[in-house]
A and B are shown apart, each in its own frame.
Chain A
């Protein structure tokens, strides 16, 4: 199967600290991939490398067949909702849809307006007056209506209350199924990812600890430890094994 994200030896250094090191990933298309790790593990750095907001210090990365953000066509293939779902507070919901229509060649206006009315967002309301959940939904609508091959979400539910969190993830799963996108989303909570992801990348201390399809990872883990375990146990185990690794150095 073709890879939607292909990273080799990817690393990013800020001054003298490596936020991400030696990251090699081969994520096939068609998955909802979860990126999990504690705060400061390098999740946002990895996602910014994937979107091309950051340039790597070492290694190479290809996303949907090309270098991130290199051209207009490449940008059109990747949708991104950054952490805290930034939107223009002074612009209305309708203005945001117009922005999307003007800036994206494959913009699906029908899809965008349908989503806005389904979410019962008032098109004339300024984005600055929306609730956190509504803002996240607006940002997601912008990212989906550009009809990307890959949708990237950085901690999309971190600022939402449990109800809004559940609605957002359910809506995301539905939208993904309808439009055949690959998705990569990050969270520091395994419970969020467990509900929607079929692929998992565990990141700790700037390194990939494990990556693969969820079922495969769980089987391998059970075979190795001999105990049946849930996703949460497995992820915690991968994260803490890294701590031991760090400690023994």
Chain B
């Protein structure tokens, strides 16, 4: 059964290995240069007041378009790979046999359907995990200098590895996505029996889960930390929204995943910018002095950076558990519902 699984998977496996090799060369070469930029920037040995060095590194990194492009490409590849695995390894696994009628050949060899399904799920699932794991290792290593320098600068802040966009393309989480997408594809195939509808369902469900997870589930994996602290208003960095709420950016929590950041008055209400004569007609010092008299505080809710790995493991475990449940369902369905 192992031989047959390998023989049927061989072409796809070789294609995946070839793609992986090409990406390894591209990211390997440029990643070495990026690591060199980081080394010469002196950030590695910097302990205090590193903002200047960080700026130097980020500027030199952004000076060469290849790094921003590959940074984004790495994200795209890591999000795309599990979906492709679900579509092209998962969905066809059983439907291809059903559509060609070859399951009648396969299931009348001296191998039970249970074993047939279990071996296929285990081996190709393992291939999905290894492929995605290696890709994640590659891009996480590549982006490590940028992640260590505080994240990738974008308008309105930086993309740290804990931010929803990057989190799913780093370290172990993609492995969970790949296992889940694969099992999902097989399950859809077993249930609807035809390749194209199975692919459509796989894609739709996988996308839905990938949207729901970071937005509705991940923020609650651990209760967020909330903190209220006195804030010094710096007029040049504060952000005023169109309805007058006033946000002072958080600077003391590098790498944290910040959910909310509100400026509140001593009575606990959200501070809304009034008409301030001191600021409208006075000097900047007068305006600053007026703010100082307001005793504004900042209320923030966030996941500390130190929880990054806990979140990675929780999320991976959730996806792996879903994959195992789906795989078990596939084996059961093929064993008892027969599909003839």
Contact = CB atoms under 8 A, between A and B. Distances in A.
Contacts, number: 79
A146 interface: yes
B96 to A, nearest CB: 10
Contacts of B8: 88, 90-91
Given A86-B101, A88-B102, A105 B340 contact: no
Contacts of A83: 101
Interface residues of B, number: 22
Given A54-B338, A95-B7, A104 B104 contact: no
Contacts of B115: 72
Interface in B98-133: 100-102, 104-105, 107-113, 115
B3 A98 contact: yes
Contacts of B1: 102-103
Contacts of A79: 108
B6 to A, nearest CB: 10
A106 B111 CA distance: 12
Interface in A126-140: 139
Chain A interface size, as a band, is: 35 or more
B217 to A, nearest CB: 39
B110 A69 contact: no
Given A102-B3, A103-B1, A82 B109 contact: no
Interface in A53-110: 53-55, 69, 71-73, 75-76, 78-80, 82-84, 86-91, 95, 98-100, 102-106
Given A53-B340, A54-B338, A69 B112 contact: yes
A86 B102 contact: yes
A142 interface: yes
A86 B8 CA distance: 15
A48 interface: yes
Interface in B69-116: 100-102, 104-105, 107-113, 115
B50 interface: no
B110 A76 contact: yes
A152 to B, nearest CB: 9
A91 B6 CA distance: 12
Contact of A51 (B2, B7, B108): B108
B105 A75 contact: no
A91 B7 CA distance: 8
Residue among B4, B108, B109 facing the most chain A CB atoms (10 A cut-off): B108
Contact of A87 (B105, B111, B112, B338): B105
Contacts of A95: 7
Given A54-B338, A54-B340, A88-B8, A99 B109 contact: yes
A104 B340 contact: no
12 contacts: A53-B338, A69-B112, A69-B113, A72-B111, A75-B111, A76-B110, A80-B108, A86-B101, A99-B4, A99-B109, A103-B4, A103-B111
